[in-house]
């Protein structure tokens, strides 16, 4: 079975400061890794994904994440945040094969950007 | 439309009432997923369709939950005899194929059972 742990439930940060949202996963098989963002009363929007290849993945809105297999981590980073980045962020894994690619999500991290 | 559409956006049901939640996936998307998101939690998998075939329903919490996708397009999630613990946002997602391709999410249906 797979599981995802987001180590911080809330991350307050000032505008233009850097931010890192932490994600660790557990799986006995290879997984694909995702970060989604959810704005209030909205569905989830894909920020970025790691399928294979380069361990540094760049996504939308200036976000990037690094896959670290030895530490089973996939932390999300942004060098300078904006007020508009305030939202809930979810890390997720999927296993292709016979599970159809269903996503296993972490509990979420609420990013609050203050002026 | 261009995205995944869910209806209704909000639903208030009295305990014991049956409800039906609709999902219109992106045209041509083979895979369709339902997730349940309780307040302050991450989404949890309910069920998965590949075209009209329901290949995984391991996440359905009880036999009161039933999902169908009879023509391989629109899907309906039905909850019978709703209970207060069913209150959540129900998210639908579709993808062109399984696994490697991006899953696109609808805005969800917020169900409140009173």
- Please give the Cα distance from B50 to B55 (Å, whole number): 7
Q: Which CATH class name applies to B5-113?
A: mainly beta
Task: Determine whether the interchain pair B50/A42 forms a contact, defined as Cβ–Cβ distance below 8 Å.
Answer: no
End-to-end CA distance of chain A: 41
The reply to whether A104 touches chain B by the CB within 8 Å rule is yes
Does residue A42 sit at the B interface (CB-CB below 8 Å)? yes
User: Using CB atoms, which residue from A32, A96, A103 is nearest to B45?
Assistant: A103
Q: Do A81 and A113 form a contact (C-beta atoms < 8 A)?
A: yes
Measured in degrees and rounded to the nearest 5, phi and psi for residue A61 equal 60, 25
Query: pLDDT tens digits, residue range A88-108?
Result: 999 999 876 555 678 999 999
In chain B, what's the furthest Cα-to-Cα distance? 40
Give residue-wise pLDDT tens across range A31-76.
889 999 999 888 899 999 998 888 999 999 999 999 999 999 999 9
Domain segments of chain B as ranges = 5-113
Please tell me if residue A13 touches chain B, with a CB cutoff of 8 Å.
no
* Whether B45 and A51 lie within 8 Å, measured CB to CB: no
For chain B, the distance separating the N- and C-terminal CA atoms, rounded to the nearest angstrom, is: 33
Q: What pLDDT shows up at residue A97?
A: 56
**Are B29 and A90 in contact, with CB atoms under 8 Å apart?**
no
Q: How many separate domains does chain A show?
A: 1
pLDDT at A83 over 90: yes
Residue A27's domain comprises 3-114
User: With b meaning 16 or more CB within 10 Å and e meaning fewer, what string describes A11-21?
Assistant: bebeeeeebeb
**Residue A43: its pLDDT value, please?**
87
Give the model confidence (pLDDT) of B66-112 as tens digits.
999 999 999 999 999 999 999 999 999 999 876 557 889 999 999 99
- CATH assignment at residue A108: 2.60.40.10
B44 vs A: CB within 8 A: yes
């Amino acid at each position: 079975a797979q599981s995802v742990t987001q180590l911080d439930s809330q991350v307050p940060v000032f505008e233009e400061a850097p931010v890192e949202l932490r994600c660790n996963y557990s799986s006995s098989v290879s997984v694909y890794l995702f970060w989604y963002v959810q704005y209030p009363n909205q569905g989830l929007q894909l920020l970025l994904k790691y399928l294979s290849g380069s361990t540094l993945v760049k996504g939308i809105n200036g976000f990037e994440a690094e896959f670290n297999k030895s530490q089973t981590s996939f932390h999300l980073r942004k060098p300078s945040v904006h007020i508009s980045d305030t939202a809930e962020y979810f890390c997720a894994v999927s296993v292709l094969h016979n599970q159809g690619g269903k996503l296993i999500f972490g509990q979420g991290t609420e990013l609050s950007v203050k002026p | 439309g261009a995205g995944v559409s869910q209806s209704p956006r909000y639903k208030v049901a009295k305990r014991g009432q049956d409800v039906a939640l609709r999902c219109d996936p992106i045209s041509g998307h083979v895979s369709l997923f339902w997730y349940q998101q309780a307040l302050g939690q991450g989404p949890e998998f309910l069920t998965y369709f590949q075209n009209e075939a329901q290949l995984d329903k391991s996440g359905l919490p009880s036999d009161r939950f039933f999902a169908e996708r009879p023509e391989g397009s629109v899907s309906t999630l039905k909850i019978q005899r709703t209970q207060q613990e069913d209150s959540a946002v129900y998210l639908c997602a579709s993808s062109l194929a399984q696994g490697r391709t991006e899953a696109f999410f609808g805005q969800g249906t917020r169900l409140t059972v009173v």
